Structure 1
Amino acid sequence: MTGAIPSTPPLLHSSAVVLDSSVPDDCELSEDDFLGGRISLYQPKKGHHRSGTDAVLLAACTPAKPGDLVVDLGSGVGAAGLCVAARVGDIRLLAVELEPDVARIALANIQRPDCSRYLHAASVLNCDVEIRGEARKEAGLVENLANHVIANPPYYRPERYQTSPNQARATAHMLTDEGMEPWFRTAVSILKSSGTFTLVQRADELPDLLRLMEGRFGGVTVQPFSPREGEAAHRVVIQGRKQSRAPFRLLPTIALHDAGRDGPAERIEAVHRHGAAIDLG
């Protein structure tokens, strides 16, 4: 599929930034199923980050309920937030995405009939997660806004990894000089009291994630994931609750695949195919 996305139903809720659901003529798109085909999303075939397992795991760990407002920071095409919607149903969703072309695709995905039926209201905010103070409020990210914030930040630091020559891909995959600090700063600001911040990241970033949680969130819970049973964790989902005094919890590692098998482990199959939750409670 190339060029403009087919027409879709009206936006469920007016966006803070006016976008249309068209993309440049040179942007080739695929349509990819999530949660066993419960939803299908447009994604760029190349040049941008493509959502997959990490977005699904992040969504599965998000403790949203019908009627809650979920803010997806750095949403990309909206996969994680829309997977939360498809699993829970009747949520309000705000997708925050910096790249205008990707934000337009997120808007088109929100408007798809197979996605919109799971949403009570939704909008896309085309802005930078790193903005702060009055600029952040003026953009629409006001204090005490959300019940839950989710994020799948870039996984790589420019001082450790070579930056892609493709600017859009570099933006999606590389953290800025401030690292993940702005993501935590924005999350704690826009969350309501007792709201949760849930984030997926590389396992080797866990020390920095715990440092950034300190003083902002309590009840911090870490869920490690390994490629296969018996292997070291390569991903973590970390969750904190605003103004919580609950103790830290490190949960047993979940293997994405059983030892000696190529197919997903039974528990992960249920998450990917049937929208099963991963309870961090």
Structure 2
Amino acid sequence: MDIELKEGERLDDLQCGGLKIIQNPRLFSFGIDAVLLANFARIKPGDIVADLGTGSGVIPLLLSCKTAASKIYGLEIQHEMADMAQRSVRLNDLESRVDIIEGDIRKAGDIIGMSLVDAVISNPPYRKAGSGHVSPSDARAIATYELECTLDDVIKAASTLLKNKGRFYMIQRPARLVDAICGMRKAGIEPKRLRMVQPFADKKPTMFLIESIKGAQPHMDIMPPLVIYDAKGIYTEEIYRIYGMEVPDSGG
């Protein structure tokens, strides 16, 4: 299907099943965090999935390629971002599996359905409002700072959407780890699996991936760290595999 691009938009190859995504760098373009989160989530065949704060729709698109989820919802409050995501879905003929909805995360239960979803995914704003320089672009500011919703709002929405024993997956900055764990436990979603993400093996983590389960008993596994680079500009083998890229030959 042909989709007309608007001013400032570009069409990028997701390198997954021939999927394409519409992006506008003026607003917000996805990064490695979205790719890592989509790979970290354990989605079962037939699952109903919701991505909270879907942005350009990259996570629903990747999950449509990588998993056998029966339905994937993407909820996004910003009109321009939701419109781009909806057009990307149509471009890839995924309307039967992926539904992008323009709406407020805080009303997710009313919009999608309470206790309906098997897995919730979110790459929420990393910074609290007022905690640093705010981008002059509204879209970038909303994606980066807690202007339209807080971390607790995202966690509460996930709990509302999830079935009992449903799974919640999130990526965040290490500075928010305690906030995330406390918020999840308060919302009845028990943290079960944690993986730190490091730029290099000898550097401290810059992100963490976490899986929690609604109604589960306390017990959390700490996974080995995920290291992004072996050297400057050279991914580790695991990152090449996550991206579906061939690992370069290191032989002489």
Pairwise same-fold verdict (TM > 0.5): yes
- Whole-angstrom distance in 2 between the partners of 1:177 and 1:148: 22
Give yes or no for the alignment of 1:149 onto 2:120.
Answer: yes
Alignment correspondent of 2:190: 218
Shift of 1:42: 0.6
Shift of 1:70: 0.9
Give yes or no for the alignment of 1:234 onto 2:209.
Answer: no
Is residue 213–residue 220 contact of structure 1 (8 Å, CA) maintained in 2? no
Q: Select the structure with the greater relative contact order (CA < 8 A; seq sep ≥ 6).
A: 1
Unpaired runs of at least 5, structure 1: 8-21, 275-281
Q: Among 234, 248, 257, which residue is 2:220 paired with?
A: 248
Q: Output one character per residue of 1:133-186: Cα deviation in whole Å (capped at 9) or x when no partner.
A: xxx51xx23211111000011112222112222222211211138631110011
Give yes or no for the alignment of 1:171 onto 2:147.
Answer: no
Distance of aligned partners of 1:244 and 1:148 in 2 relative to their CA distance in 1, 3 Å threshold: same
Q: Among 80, 86, 99, which residue is 1:123 paired with?
A: 99
Distance of aligned partners of 1:204 and 1:233 in 2 relative to their CA distance in 1, 3 Å threshold: same
Alignment correspondent of 1:59: 38
Is residue 218–residue 245 contact of structure 1 (8 Å, CA) maintained in 2? yes
TM-score, normalization by structure 1: 0.80
Alignment correspondent of 1:100: 79
- Whole-angstrom distance in 2 between the partners of 1:90 and 1:178: 27
Is residue 65–residue 91 contact of structure 1 (8 Å, CA) maintained in 2? no
Q: Output one character per residue of 1:182-222: Cα deviation in whole Å (capped at 9) or x when no partner.
A: 10011000111111110111122111111111132125211
Shift of 1:38: 3.8
Alignment correspondent of 1:262: 233
Shift of 1:261: 4.2
- Whole-angstrom distance in 1 between the partners of 2:59 and 2:98: 14
Identity of aligned residues (%): 23
TM-score, normalization by structure 2: 0.89
Q: Among 49, 72, 79, which residue is 1:70 paired with?
A: 49
Give yes or no for the alignment of 1:194 onto 2:165.
Answer: yes
Q: Output one character per residue of 1:92-114: Cα deviation in whole Å (capped at 9) or x when no partner.
A: 1111000111111111111223x
Q: Which amino acid aligns with 1:205?
A: R
Q: Output one character per residue of 1:45-100: Cα deviation in whole Å (capped at 9) or x when no partner.
A: 21x22112111101001111222111010000110121122111353111100011
- Whole-angstrom distance in 1 between the partners of 2:69 and 2:113: 22
Is residue 142–residue 148 contact of structure 2 (8 Å, CA) maintained in 1? no
- Structure 1 SS opposite 2:199: strand
Is residue 219–residue 245 contact of structure 1 (8 Å, CA) maintained in 2? no
- Structure 1 SS opposite 2:50: strand
- Whole-angstrom distance in 2 between the partners of 1:87 and 1:37: 9
- Whole-angstrom distance in 2 between the partners of 1:189 and 1:223: 25
Q: Which amino acid aligns with 1:87?
A: K
Unpaired runs of at least 5, structure 2: 246-252
Shift of 1:223: 0.9
- Whole-angstrom distance in 2 between the partners of 1:264 and 1:153: 25
Q: Which amino acid aligns with 2:172?
A: Q
CA-atom RMSD, angstroms? 2.3
- Structure 2 SS opposite 1:244: coil
> After the TM superposition, which parts of structure 1 deviate over 4 Å for at least 4 consecutive aligned residues?
none
Q: Which moved more, 1:215-224 or 1:69-78?
A: 215-224
1:73-88 map, 5 Å: 73-88=52-67
